[in-house]
Amino acid sequence: MHNAYFVAGTDTDVGKTVCSCAILHAAQQAGVAMVGYKPIASGSENTPQGLRNSDALLLQHASSVAVIYDEVNPYAFYRPVSPHIAAAEEHKTIEFSVLSQGLADLKAKSECVLIEGAGGWRVPVNNSDYLSSWVKQEQLPVILVVGVKLGCLNHALLTAEAIQADGLTIVGWIANQVQPTTDNYTVMITWLEQHLPGKKIAEIPYCPTNKRDFLADYIDLKVLN
């Protein structure tokens, strides 16, 4: 197992947090000290402790290593918009050095850091850089989350091609069923198995929020070894 993985999505709202928490819970059950990291989060609420993003909180609670919120999420923005827009509105600059220092600090406290991205692969952090630029800088192995729905085959293949064009390795992928029913589900999974690089880590079924604690059972951690 590597000491860090980056969880990328084929789009926004494809279930990166659901799948990341499932991996974190599976690691906890396997006795692996894994911690979640959400470097950039748009869409947060004001609390007495400061801005808090619900996805980052879920990662914090699912981690088997105790860390404070700011370690999990160094950049929290109020509005649920692209990070480069949110940062500009709040007169902030997203610094890769901050992301890297946060990653290094979490590596020192754990066996593995699971880093959840924001939006899709090419989400911009300013007018010239993308979050993927930082992933490339850190040479992180990638786990791809595919939100299984109409159009996902195109999105999955284009995202995989972009990741590989950046010189990075897709170590595995997760099929996440984002709708209660999906036409041609089995056919699409078979196609993804034949065309995506990396091994399938899991097929996550559509699941109500209150039952997601059981999703670790679907994760095959051996794929990451």
| Annotated binding residues for ATP | 13-18, 55, 116-119, 176-177
Cα distance between the two ends of the chain: 4
Q: Which residues are annotated as a binding site for substrate?
A: 42
Q: Which residues are annotated as a binding site?
A: 13-18, 42, 55, 116-119, 176-177
Who's near 120: CB < 8 A, 6+ residues apart? Answer: 8, 9, 10, 11, 12, 159
Distance CA 200, CA 203 (A): 8
Distance CA 151, CA 147 (A): 9
Distance CA 14, CA 26 (A): 20
Whether residue 92 lies in the annotated active site: no
Q: Are 39 and 101 in contact, with CB atoms under 8 Å apart?
A: no
Please pick, among 38, 109, 149, 199, the residue that the annotation labels catalytic.
38
Helix (H, G, I), strand (E, B) or coil at 161: helix
- Count of beta carbons in the 10 Å neighbourhood of residue 67: 17
Q: Within a 13 Å sphere around the CA of 170, how many CA atoms are in the beta-carbon half?
A: 28
Q: Which residues are annotated as a binding site for Mg(2+)?
A: 17, 55, 116
* Strand-pair partners of 6: 115, 142
* Active centre residues (catalytic): 38
